[in-house]
Amino acid sequence: ANPEATGHITLYTDAKGIAYPLPDHPRLQIDYAAPARRKDMGQDAKDAIAEERHIFLYFAGERELATSVRSAWRASGRRPKDAYISAFWQKT
């Protein structure tokens, strides 16, 4: 990690659910915003879009959530290159 990096990161996950815990950083503030229920993840991500974060990362559990969040990002008028929205798997 870059020791000169600064900023505020909000991760929409539970800190306990991260396979590789993030180390403390002297200049970065990291908050965990775990949704109460899995189905709230898409809305939590859309709320973050409304807050106009500079870079937005969202890893959806299902393809339909990722598609929904991508659509919300485009509708907000934000630049596509400022977002990385990906789905790991889709419901079967």
- pLDDT-derived band at 54 (thresholds 50, 70, 90) equals low
Residue 92 confidence (pLDDT): 54
User: Model's pTM, two decimal places?
Assistant: 0.52
Most confident of the ranges 50-59, 68-77, 80-89 = 68-77
Q: Which helix (H) or strand (E) holds 42?
A: helix 41-50
- pLDDT-derived band at 90 (thresholds 50, 70, 90) equals low
- pLDDT-derived band at 87 (thresholds 50, 70, 90) equals low
* 2 domain-assigned: no
* 52 domain-assigned: yes
Number of domains in the chain: 1
Q: Which domain holds residue 63?
A: 7-87
* 92 domain-assigned: no
d(CA 67, CA 2): 32
* 56 domain-assigned: yes
